[in-house]
Amino acid sequence: MMKLDFSGLESASSHFHGVDSELVEGLSRAPSFEIPNTTNFDGFQKEAIQMVKPAKGTTTLAFIFKEGVMVAADSRASMGGYISSQSVKKIIEINPYMLGTMAGGAADCQFWHRNLGIKALKKECEIEYINFLTYPMGEEFIGISHMFRCRLHELANRRRISVTGASKLLANILYSYRGMGLVGTVLPYYVDSEGGRLKGNRFSVGSGSPYAYGVLDSGYHYDMSVEEAAELARRAIYQATFRDGASGGVASVYHVGPNGWKKLSGDDVGELYYKYNPITPRMVEQEMAEAAEP
């Protein structure tokens, strides 16, 4: 039976500071998730998901280079074949030093990133922690339990956890969800729930990731400048949106440096097409001249 880690929800109840405690007693109980009364939990979830079809399908990427970390994502949310939104925020600003990216269930990511921000682990957890998770259910629980364990390590050992350590913690957490196809990154590591843990400079997650990898891998150098890196990230997302139907909208690019993150650009990929494939007037005139000849 899958064990879901709800420890992240506990302290939400302490936020109630109403004078009349009886009034809020019912609500100050730690919010718990009702489980449907069925013998087949997974089957029910599958049916429920089929019915409500949470939005997913995406391209996100991040890479490390000399000047820090570059993070980019598209903004399309699809429900089956229907585009439910072209303006979803997939890069979530947790606090001035932390970005979260999302792939998978939009509601899961939004809810838990909101909680992550409220916990305000702030500057203490400046691991350049960027979390990609790609399964439609439950993955954000992992994100928050991972954050807590990193913080516990800090408190117990009186120094920040190393990136290697953080990635190992995440790999161990993901192992209890093995078989569910979960993926995460704590740069420069990539971890998944099959037990994979890879070290690398660049990762891309989502349905458009193969296309993004093509561009990213061919253009990557460690000693790029910030502008070059931003252009590489933007181009990679653009190419992914061009070929992948589930990705599109606006390509956002963020840079994470020693002083925190900064949003570098947000471009509509439809407009980017004409920037990368300008219409050459000369050819058109030539065609018109040729057509005019009898």
Partner 1 sequence: MTKHQANWSPYDNNGGSCVAIAGADYCVIAADTRMSTGYNILTRDYSKITKLADKCVMASSGFQADVKALQKLLAARHLIYQHQHNKQMGCPAMAQLLSNTLYYKRFFPYYSFNVLGGLDNEGKGCVYTYDAVGSYERVGYSSQGSGSTLIIPFLDNQLKSPSPLLLPVQDAITPLSESEAVDLVKTVFASATERDIYTGDKLEIVVLNAEGIQREFMDLRKD
Which residue ranges make up the site for partner 1 (CB under 8 A)?
A: 18, 20, 23-24, 27, 31, 33-36, 38-40, 43-45, 48, 51-52, 54-55, 75, 77, 79, 82, 84-89, 105-111, 114, 137, 249-250, 252, 263-268
Judged by CB, which is closer to partner 1: 86, or 201? 86
Judged by CB, which is closer to partner 1: 68, or 248? 248
Judged by CB, which is closer to partner 1: 88, or 99? 88
Residue 64 main-chain phi, psi, to 5 deg: -100, 140
Active site residue 58: yes
Candidates 38, 39, 58, 134; catalytic one: 58
In 3D, which of 226, 173, 206 has the Cα closest to residue 63? 226
CA–CA dist 179, 158 (Å, integer): 35
**Shortest reach from residue 125's CB to partner 1, in Å:** 24
**Shortest reach from residue 158's CB to partner 1, in Å:** 35
CA–CA dist 157, 95 (Å, integer): 24
Helical H runs in 205-268?
209-219, 226-243
| Pairing status of strand 189-192 against strand 98-101 | unpaired
- Tokens 């949003």 belong to which residue? 263
**Shortest reach from residue 116's CB to partner 1, in Å:** 14
CA 117 to chain centre: 15
| Pairing status of strand 82-85 against strand 77-79 | antiparallel
- Tokens 């990154």 belong to which residue? 185
Residue 277 main-chain phi, psi, to 5 deg: -130, 70
**Shortest reach from residue 89's CB to partner 1, in Å:** 7
**Shortest reach from residue 214's CB to partner 1, in Å:** 24
CA 267 to chain centre: 18
**Which residues are known to be catalytic?**
58
